[in-house]
Amino acid sequence: MPYPEMIVAPMRAELVRLGFQELRTSDQVEAVVDGEDRPLLLVVNSICGCAAGAMRPGVALALEHENRPEILTTVFAGQDMDATAKAREYIAGYPPSSPSVALFKDGELVYMMERHQIEGHSAYQIAADLGSAFDEHCA
């Protein structure tokens, strides 16, 4: 059962304030991801305090990097079920993981940061890892 919106809203707002387009339906996910050639970041947000609590600030820091994706999108696991399920179809080959961060280029998944790569890491470590991926795929 999803958490009440009053609990989730501040967690959603963290990414939206950074310029992320929140995708709440499977149709929205498909419309944005299908056929997009520009670098696209897809963040699977989560209510999880420990991992997502570091992931969101880590993503924010990574976006200060010189190279960064042009398209910023997010779905919220455990809240927007259809959108998250559709997003995970594009992340084929990886088990469902939230939070997580996927980077696409030319319509292909080129980088994936799973929960186990987020959990126990600081926002600065997460940002450094994402920055390296941005340098490789968004320059």
Which positions are catalytic?
A: 48, 50
d(CA 12, CA 125): 22
Residue 50 CB partners (closer than 8 Å, separation 6+): 119
How far, CA to CA in Å, does 116 sit from each of 107, 119, 123?
Answer: 25, 5, 14
Residue 96 CB partners (closer than 8 Å, separation 6+): 77, 88
